[in-house]
Chains A and B, each alone.
Chain A
Amino acid sequence: MAELFAFLLSGVTVGFIYALVGLGFTVIYNSSGIINFSQGEFVMAGGMSAVFLMYAGVPLGFAFILAIISVSVIGIILYKLLSISKDSSHISLIILTLGFAIFLRGLAQVIFDKQLHTMPSFVGDGSFEIFGAILSYQSLLVIVVSLIIVISLYLFFKRTKTGQAMVAASVNVDAARLMGINIKKILVLNFAISAVIASIGGILLTPITSTNYEVGIMLGLKGFSAAIIGGLGNPWGAVAGGLLLGILESLVAGYISSEYKDAVAFVVLLAILFFMPGGIFGNLKAQRV
C-alpha cells in the first residue's frame, strides 16, 4: 500500500509538470490554432536559464523572475516570426515552430552547455510522510504552484476583461475584432502567457529530474499528448491528461518496466485517438470522418 501511494505521489508531481506543458499548448492553440512544437524548449529554456543565473550568483528568487521574463520574450519572438511568415498553411507553420525548437536547442548549447544540471530544492530537503509514502517539500511545491497557476489562469480567463477578450478571440476572431478587441495584442499576450507557464514548469522540475539542452523534446511531446488526451483546446482536459499520464507512467515504471516508461504517454495517446478522438472530455470539435 505504501509503495502504491509512493508511486501515486511521484506520478502526481510529474503529472502536474506535464499538465503545465499541456496548458501552454492549449493557450497557444486556442488563440491561434497553431500547434507549437517548441513548447518543450520553452520548458528547457526556463530551467536552464534559472540554473545558469544561479551559477552566476544571482539570488534564487531573482534568477527565477529573470528566467521567466526571458522565456516570455522568446515566446513573443516566436509569435512575431509566425506572423511575418508569408504562408499560413498549417504544415509550414508547424515546421516553423519545429525550426524554432531546433534553434532554441542550438542556442542553449552555445549560451549554456551540453551537461546535465540540477538545482538544490527551493524549500529545503525535508519531506512529509503520508500513509507511509514520502513526499518531499519540492514535490509539494510543484503541486501547490501548479495548482495556483491553474486556478489563477482560470480566474484570469473568467473574471478579467483581458481574459474575456482572449476567450472571445478564440471563439470567433472576426466577431471579436468587430467588438474592438485588438487581436494582435491578444495573440502576443497568449504566446507570452504560454511561455511563462512553460518556464515555471521547467524551473520547478529542475531540482527533481535535472535538466539539459535536450530535455524539452520528450517533455514537449508528452505535454502535447496530455493536451490531446484531455481534449485539445480544453484547459481542464490538459490538466487532467497531464495528471493521468504522470500517474500511469509512474505505475508502469514501478510495477511493469521502467524502460518502457516513456512509451506510456504515446500508447495512451494512440488509444485515445483511435477510440475517443475527442479526448476524455469529449471535445465536439474533434475532426474525425
Chain B
Amino acid sequence: MNFLERINITKEILIFTAILIVVPFVLQNEFHFQLAILAMLNAMICIGLNLLMGYAGQVSLGHGAFAGLGGYIGAILTTEYQFNPLLSILSAVIFMGIFAFIISKPILKLKGHYLAMATLGIGVIINIILNVEYEITGGTDGMAVDSFILFGFELFESMHWYIVVALLLVFTLWIFDNLIKSPFGRILRSIRDSEKAADCVGINVSFYKSVVFTISVVVATIAGSLYGFFSGFISPQEASFNHSIELVVMVVLGGLGRLYGAVIGATILTVLPQLLTAFEEYETLIFGLIIIAIMIFMPKGIVSLWDKILEFKERKFAKSA
C-alpha cells in the first residue's frame, strides 16, 4: 500500500484537481470565473445533499432554503455586527447544525412523499420569513454583503476566490470520499437499502439519519455563506423553492449515490442556463425539456454513461480474449 492509497488520494481526485488547475487558463473573462465559482459552490452543496439522498436514501426538497438561511446568517453577522467573516461562517455553521439536528428528529421519521413534503414545507417557510422580515434581511430586494477579509487580506479578485473555493471543494470531496468508504458510509447504505434490516443488526437508524442530515445542512451552510461573501449580495432567491429543486435535479442528473455525479450535475446545471440565455424567451422551455429528456433516457444520471462505456470495453476485451 503506497502513501497515496493510505491517505485515500484516489485517481479520480487527482484527475479532478488537475482539471481545476487547468480551468482558469481556459476561462476568458470575469463572468466565466464567476460561473466557475458558482458551479463549485453548488457542487459542494450537492456533494452533501447526495450523501443524504444517494447514500442514505432520504430526499430533501429544502436544501436551497438551508443554504440560503445559512448564507443570510453569515452575511448579517459580518455586515451588521462586524464579525470576522470566518467567525460569521463558523457561527452560521454551529447555528444551522443545531437547527438541522433538532428538526431532523421529527422530519426523518417520515418517508417518501411525506419526507419530501416536510422538507419542502420548512424550506418554503424559511423563504417566506426571509422575504417578510425586511428590517433584518432587506426583504425581497436582498441585502449587500461586506467583503471577505481573511487574515487581513481582502478576497477581492476572482482568481483568489477561485483558488479558495477550489481548495475547499477538493477538500470536501476528499472528506466525503473517506466518509463513504468508512463504516459510517456502509451504515448509510444499509439504511438506504433497508431500514428494518439496519435496525435489526443494531444500527441506531434515527441517530445516523440525523447525523447525515446535519452534515449535509452544514456543508450547504458553508457554501451558502461563501456565496454571499463572494457575490457581495444575497437575496431570498437563494433560499427559494426553485433553488431547492435545482439542487435536487443537479444531484439526480449527475447520478444519485455517485460522488462525482453531484459535481458533474452541479456544473452542467449551473452553466446550462447561461448558455440557454442565448435562446431568450425559450430558455425555461428548453431547460424543462432537457430535464425531461435526461429523466426519460438516463434516469441513473449522466455518470451512468461512463459505466456503459466501461461495460462496453470489458465486453470487447472478453470477446477478443
Q: In the docked arrangement, what's the CA distance between A89 and B59, Å?
A: 13
Interface residues of B in 108-156 (CB under 8 A from A): 109-114, 116-118, 120-122, 124-125, 128-129, 131-132
Collect the chain B residues with CB atoms within 8 Å of residue A104's CB. 288
Collect the chain B residues with CB atoms within 8 Å of residue A99's CB. 249, 288-292, 295
Residue from the set B124, B128, B129 with the largest chain A CB neighbour count within 10 Å: B124
- Determine which of A95, A110, A259 lies in contact with B295 in the assembled complex, contact meaning CB atoms within 8 Å: A95
Q: In the docked arrangement, what's the CA distance between A109 and B109, Å?
A: 40
Asked whether A102 is an interface residue with its Cβ less than 8 Å from the other chain, the reply is yes
Evaluate contact between A273 and B118: CB separation under 8 angstroms: yes
The interface-forming segment of A166-174, A197-205, A262-270 is A262-270
**Interchain nearest-CB distance for B192 vs A (Å):** 12
Q: Is the interface of B mostly helix, strand, loop or mixed?
A: helix
Evaluate contact between A85 and B299: CB separation under 8 angstroms: yes
Evaluate contact between B285 and A87: CB separation under 8 angstroms: no
Evaluate contact between B132 and A225: CB separation under 8 angstroms: no
Q: In the docked arrangement, what's the CA distance between A106 and B282, Å?
A: 7
Evaluate contact between B113 and A35: CB separation under 8 angstroms: yes
Q: In the docked arrangement, what's the CA distance between A211 and B122, Å?
A: 26
Asked whether A184 is an interface residue with its Cβ less than 8 Å from the other chain, the reply is no
Collect the chain B residues with CB atoms within 8 Å of residue A65's CB. none
Asked whether A143 is an interface residue with its Cβ less than 8 Å from the other chain, the reply is no
Asked whether A60 is an interface residue with its Cβ less than 8 Å from the other chain, the reply is no
Asked whether A255 is an interface residue with its Cβ less than 8 Å from the other chain, the reply is no
Evaluate contact between A103 and B285: CB separation under 8 angstroms: yes
Evaluate contact between A106 and B285: CB separation under 8 angstroms: yes
**Interchain nearest-CB distance for B44 vs A (Å):** 21
Evaluate contact between A95 and B291: CB separation under 8 angstroms: yes
Contacts A/B (CB < 8 Å), 15 sampled: A86-B297, A91-B252, A93-B295, A99-B292, A99-B295, A106-B286, A106-B287, A232-B113, A262-B128, A263-B125, A266-B121, A266-B122, A266-B124, A266-B128, A273-B121
Q: Please report A residues at the B interface, Cβ cutoff 8 Å.
A: 35, 81, 84-87, 89-96, 98-107, 109-110, 217, 221, 224-225, 228, 232, 257, 259-260, 262-263, 266-267, 269-270, 273-274, 277, 286-289
Q: Please report B residues at the A interface, Cβ cutoff 8 Å.
A: 53, 59, 106, 109-114, 116-118, 120-122, 124-125, 128-129, 131-132, 195, 205, 241-242, 245, 248-249, 252, 256, 281-292, 295-297, 299-300
